[in-house]
Amino acid sequence: MQISLNELAHLLSGEVVGDGSQMVHTVAKIEEGFEGALSFLANAKYEPYLYTTQSTAVLVNKTFQPTSNYATTLIKVEDAYAAFTFLLEKFSNVSQELVGIENQSFVDSSAKLAKDIYIGAYSYVSAEVSIGEGSKIYPQVYLGKGVKVGKNTILYPGVKIYYDCEIGDNCIIHGGTIIGSDGFGFAPLADKTYKKIPQTGNVIIENDVEIGANCTVDRATLGSTYVRQGVKLDNMVQVAHNADVGAHTVMASQSGVAGSSKVGPYCVVGGQVGIGGHITVAEGSQFGGQSGVLASISTPNGKWFGTPAFDVKDNLRSTAIFRKLPQLLKRVEELEKEIKQLKG
């Protein structure tokens, strides 16, 4: 990237405050800035770095008002974080350059391949697979029989998609993730052993989904496991058989959804949150890290924390009281002693 600040501001519908003729050629954190770099400021706790940064320019919100002198040039935009993300997408997407089928990959003759796709070495494309236009299949990816991959989707190295699963358009799945492995289904027998229940369904991942590294989304026992449009899963997230993760929900690392549970749209799930089986979570619910969701939640847009999870404000009040328990216990013991003396 080599662009003047005036050109950059025009691209972002922003306003230059300073010398717009200066050039930038890369991006950098505001606290690690240097000449020729573009940074951004969206979080108020990083504001002190604005006054010391060596970056040539910094993207800020239009409403931002500096409180001290600064040496950099500002580009004021509606949303600095969104503008910076747009620039990263525009100038850093090297995957767009990859086209063609590399040697040492296997593609079954019955597979349907659209134009401008990429298939890396040591990838395996099984019978009846279809891959949409512009999709990128990196090395060592496995696509089982009948898998469908939509347009402009990226599967990074080591992704495994089991048979009959469907991946939508504009998805990104990172290395080591497995889609469509068997759900955890076992029937207890009279002799206390377990018999495996066949998992005959599939997984359907809708459009615009991003799944981090080393995640698992299990196939359904019957029907489908769903990851709906716009969902974002962090690394090491587990979605169990027949679960349904609602549109535009985000889930942080090491969280999991147990079998047959339905998580509503626009939910925010913190790290290491466990959502129990066969429950329903209302739209817009937010869960603090390490919460345990053991029962259905019907109230939309609530904030929950703890195990079992309950309203976050009540949880904080309870925590404050819990911290005082040693003092309260000591006071009760003193009162009991006084009562005993009075009785005597």
The answer to whether 203 and 220 have CB atoms below 8 angstroms apart is yes
pLDDT (0 to 100) of residue 95: 56
The CATH number of 98-315 is 2.160.10.10
In this prediction, residues 83-99 reach a mean pLDDT of: 76
Tokens encoding 61: 């919100």
Q: Which of 36-40, 144-148, 305-309 has the lowest mean pLDDT?
A: 305-309
pLDDT (0 to 100) of residue 214: 97
In angstroms and rounded to an integer, the radius of gyration of the C-alpha atoms of the chain is 26
Give the position of tokens 């429950």.
279
Residue with the bigger pLDDT between 181 and 307: it is: 181
Does 241 qualify as catalytic in the annotation?
yes
Q: Which of 14-28, 167-181, 237-251, 302-316 has the lowest mean pLDDT?
A: 302-316
Share of the chain above pLDDT 70, in %: 98
Structural domain boundaries in the chain:
3-92, 98-315, 318-344
Of the pLDDT bands very low, low, confident and very high (cuts 50, 70, 90), residue 344 is: confident
DSSP, res 297: B
Whether the predicted pLDDT of 92 surpasses 70: no
Residues with Cβ within 8 Å of 234's Cβ and at least 6 positions away in sequence, in order, are: 212, 250, 251, 252, 253, 255, 271
> Which residue type occupies 72?
T
Residue with the bigger pLDDT between 140 and 315: it is: 140
Whether the predicted pLDDT of 58 surpasses 60: yes
Tokens encoding 305: 């924390």
Whether the predicted pLDDT of 83 surpasses 70: yes
Cα angle 227-233-235, degrees, rounded to a multiple of 5: 135
What is the CATH architecture of 3-92? 3-Layer(aba) Sandwich (3.40)
pLDDT (0 to 100) of residue 113: 96
- From 10, 25, 174, 241, the catalytic residue: 241
Whether the predicted pLDDT of 136 surpasses 80: yes
Element (H, E) at 177: none
Whether the predicted pLDDT of 277 surpasses 70: yes
Per the prediction, the chain carries an average pLDDT of: 93
Whether the predicted pLDDT of 319 surpasses 90: no
Tokens encoding 146: 């009948």
Of the pLDDT bands very low, low, confident and very high (cuts 50, 70, 90), residue 140 is: very high
pLDDT (0 to 100) of residue 192: 95
In this prediction, residues 99-127 reach a mean pLDDT of: 95
Q: Which residues of 191-230 are buried (b: 16+ CB within 10 A; e: fewer)?
A: eeeeeeeebebbbbbbbbbbbbbebbbbbbbeebbbbbbb
Tokens encoding 162: 């089991």
Residue with the bigger pLDDT between 317 and 52: it is: 52
Describe the crossing of helices 312-323 and 325-343 by its angle, rounded to 10 degrees: 50
pLDDT (0 to 100) of residue 253: 97
DSSP per position, 7-76 = HHHHHTT-EEES-TT-EE-EE--GGG--TTEEEEE-SGGGHHHHTT---SEEEEETT---SS---SEEEE
Give the position of tokens 């147990």.
258
Share of the chain above pLDDT 90, in %: 81
The answer to whether 111 and 129 have CB atoms below 8 angstroms apart is yes
Whether the predicted pLDDT of 295 surpasses 80: yes
pLDDT (0 to 100) of residue 96: 60
pLDDT (0 to 100) of residue 323: 84
How deeply is 151 buried, as exposed, middle or buried, from its count of CB atoms within 10 A (0-12, 13-18, 19+)? middle
Whether the predicted pLDDT of 94 surpasses 60: no
Question: Greatest CA separation found in the chain?
Answer: 97
Of the pLDDT bands very low, low, confident and very high (cuts 50, 70, 90), residue 297 is: very high
